[in-house]
Amino acid sequence: MTENKTSNKKSRFEWIKTYNKIREQNSEKYKHLNTALMIIFPFFITCMAEINQFKHVGTFIDFALARPSVLMFDFAVAGIIYVLLLSVFNKSWLASLAHGLIYMALSITELFKYGTNGNHLLLSDMKLFKSVKSLKSFAYIKITPPLIIYCIIVVVLIALIFHFNPILPPKKPLKRAITTASCATFGMCMVVFPAFYNPVYSFFKVDTTNSNNAFLLNEKFTNNGFLAFIVQTASESYSKRLVVPANYNEEYVDEITHVYITENEDFNGGKKPNVIVIMSESYGDFRVFDELNVDDKYYAGFDKACSEGVSGITITPTYASWTVRSEFELIFGLPVRGINTPNMPQRELADREQPAIAQYYKSWGYKTAYVHPFQPNFYSRSKIYSGFGFDEMIFHDDIDNVSDFTVPVEHYGTYVDDATVFNQLTDLIKSTDEPIYIHTTTMQNHQPYDLGDADEFTNYLTWIQHTNESLSAFLDELKDIDEPTLVFYVGDHFPSLRGETSVYNQLNITGENCSTLYEQKYFLWSNYDADFSTVPTEKFSFFYVPYIIIDIIDAPHDKFIETMDDFMMSVPVYSTDYNDDTPDNEELDVLTYDRVVGDVMSPCPIPAEVLEASKGD
């Protein structure tokens, strides 16, 4: 037996040696073919990456004929990347393999991402790579025959390059280093320096329209195709990176918050109500689109709550995805526009205790809690949100089978039933002696919506109806609890629906008429005689919600809260995606930077010694 194993190993080793000799002979025997293979490869992999996400060769040809200069740009970028990889690896087959893997991986990711939520891939999305385990539950991943065929074609050409083994002319290490540095410098300039990349984009007629919302981004994708879109949006993203405001200093912050406040410590005579903020995942009222003829039955529970309290329209900072944008505005009472509207604002925060709204409630003697029926590590919530002033954070992780919930957990569709979340909120209220402030972000109505036999929009409405029935039962239960409780309820954004077949395409939504999808209907409801007279009747941005609630419960104001109340009157809507015509507000931007990134020079609910100690952690 041992002799047979030794013999098999020698046999395999001899075969490898023989095949490598053949490859070495091919390098000399097929020089012209090998040169052609290396020249062709950047053009080939560019075409294959584009064809893959276009799905059909014919669609790619139409794009090439309509936008030939953009395709030339793609070829030029691919050529430079290929030269870079050749100089790094000094082996043509390794360079081809790396180039092929990068381009096809990006193309396939783009294909699945757009098919999942109707939004195209940005390089900044790669920040979520660590959460790929979580993303599997979101994505519509469908392996189609064309996808398999395109991947096989790419593999075959790379295999041919490996077999014929093109040999690069010998280069001294210095020349290779210069080539590598030159290509890398070009890449850096294409992202970092407008004086360099703007003329390049102009020459190749790459669309550089400022994309302020998801629909404008998608229109830019149509004009640029996949690869040029990836490069151009990387340039755009870098140009919008967060930097220290030029006028950020203590004197200016004091000037902004130099307002008169009336001392108030009595909470309507000392009555501190529980405050429940419910941000409902992907909750949107599609009745705003008359042509859809959506039956009122789906929203009956929501309508009942509106009739018992007050309701209106608030402007969400996102559409279809990036829940953490909406969460940031509700938790901090600050605009994401103030830090240049990043997709993941929590990644911009300084690593210290944060003056989030929960900190105010703690200073007023409230218990505070954050509830989210999903994985604690998604968006790094458990780590980052621990500095927001929450006494307790409650998560439920189906993947690792770990739960902080103290009530039985049921599922509806793919995720935790909203009824379970409402039961958890009730349990927190009943088990806490002090008044409690809770922020909850639900999960039930997150995509995918393709379960069962119904179409995804019908499924979505059915799930919304289930949420509203559970919501109605929850509010009825609060009526029987002998604790004053105020509830604010809103959807974080309209849902992600499938790319080409989505109801949004049926409605012909574009970058010019998409504002309705950033308007979210909300309600404020109470089981006591709350004074809703201060609630604005006009539309306002999400980040003003905490101050509206503070006014309703008659909580104490510091100069920062009073300043934000003033901004609510003068700048009620401050959102890039909803309306970019609103000019930048220097004061709002400085205050936002100060509180989440800067030194917290503005009035703050966190004791000074605690804040200073957290900066050193």
Cα distance between residue 409 and residue 405, in whole Å: 7
455 residue type, one letter = D
Same domain, 187 and 298: no
**Residue 245 covered by a domain:** no
Same domain, 223 and 340: no
Strand-by-strand arrangement of the 310-315 sheet: 402-403, 392-397, 367-372, 436-441, 274-280, 485-491, 519-526, 310-315, 540-541
Q: How confident is the model at residue 400 (pLDDT cuts 50, 70, 90)?
A: confident
486 residue type, one letter = L
Cα distance between residue 378 and residue 347, in whole Å: 12
- pLDDT value at 13 more than 80: no
Provide the pairing of β-strand 485-491 with 519-526. Answer: antiparallel
Q: How large a percentage of the chain has pLDDT more than 90?
A: 74
The distance of Cα 557 from the centroid of its chain, to the nearest Å, equals 33
- pLDDT value at 140 more than 80: no
Asked if 71 contacts 221 with a C-beta cutoff of 8 angstroms, the reply is no
- pLDDT value at 454 more than 60: yes
Nearest to 326 by CA among 522, 511, 121: 522
Same domain, 221 and 82: yes
Measured in Å, how far apart are the chain's first and last C-alpha atoms?
62
Same domain, 187 and 307: no
**Residue 575 covered by a domain:** yes
Same domain, 233 and 255: no
Q: What is the pLDDT of residue 615?
A: 78
Same domain, 258 and 169: no
Which tokens hold the place of 156? 């075959």
Work out the angle at residue 584's Cα, subtended by the Cα atoms of residues 582 and 590, and round it to the nearest 5 degrees.
145
**Residue 495 covered by a domain:** no
Task: Please state which of the ranges 47-56, 120-129, 307-316, 419-428 shows the lowest mean pLDDT.
Answer: 120-129
Same domain, 299 and 423: yes
Q: What is the pLDDT of residue 396?
A: 96
Please tell me which residue, 611 or 308, carries the higher pLDDT value: 308
Mean pLDDT, the chain, integer: 91
**Residue 144 covered by a domain:** yes
**Residue 510 covered by a domain:** no
- pLDDT value at 75 more than 90: yes
Same domain, 263 and 372: yes
- pLDDT value at 5 more than 70: no
Predicted confidence (pLDDT) per residue in 181-194, tens digit: 999 999 999 999 99
Nearest to 418 by CA among 283, 296, 294, 275: 283
**Residue 593 covered by a domain:** yes
Q: Name 394's bridge partners.
A: 371
Work out the angle at residue 127's Cα, subtended by the Cα atoms of residues 126 and 131, and round it to the nearest 5 degrees.
95
Q: What is the pLDDT of residue 334?
A: 98
Last residue of a domain, one of 239, 258, 283: 239
Mean pLDDT of 154-167: 94
The CATH number linked to 401 is: 3.40.720.10
Would you report the helix, strand and coil content of the chain in percent, each value rounded to 5? 55, 10, 35
Domain that holds residue 47: 2-239
Same domain, 254 and 233: no
H or E element in which residue 541 lies: strand 540-541
Strands (DSSP E) found in 442-481: none
Instruction: Give the predicted TM-score (pTM) of the model.
Output: 0.90
Q: How large a percentage of the chain has pLDDT more than 70?
A: 95
Cα distance between residue 519 and residue 326, in whole Å: 12
Task: Please state which of the ranges 135-149, 440-454, 539-553 shows the lowest mean pLDDT.
Answer: 135-149
Compute, in degrees rounded to 10, the torsion defined by CA atoms 244, 246, 247, 248.
10
Task: Please state which of the ranges 434-443, 445-454, 562-571 shows the lowest mean pLDDT.
Answer: 445-454
Cα distance between residue 370 and residue 353, in whole Å: 16
**Residue 176 covered by a domain:** yes
433 residue type, one letter = D
What lies within 8 Å, CB to CB, of 185 at 6+ separation is: none
Q: What is the pLDDT of residue 134?
A: 58
Q: What is the pLDDT of residue 360?
A: 97
Mean pLDDT of 95-120: 88
**Residue 310 covered by a domain:** yes
Last residue of a domain, one of 220, 239, 258: 239
CB atoms within 10 A of CB 254: 13
Same domain, 235 and 257: no
Same domain, 292 and 216: no
Same domain, 219 and 272: no
C-alpha distances in Å from residue 74, one per residue of 68, 77, 112, 217, 245 = 10, 5, 21, 18, 35
Residue 344: phi and psi, rounded to 5, are -125, 80
Predicted confidence (pLDDT) per residue in 558-590, tens digit: 999 999 999 999 999 999 999 878 899 999 999
Asked if 279 contacts 580 with a C-beta cutoff of 8 angstroms, the reply is no
Nearest to 325 by CA among 340, 342, 313, 338: 342
Q: What is the pLDDT of residue 1?
A: 54
Asked if 52 contacts 109 with a C-beta cutoff of 8 angstroms, the reply is no
Strands (DSSP E) found in 343-484: 367-372, 392-397, 402-403, 411-412, 415-416, 436-441
Q: Name 313's bridge partners.
A: 521
Q: How many domains does the chain contain in total?
A: 2
Last residue of a domain, one of 203, 218, 239: 239
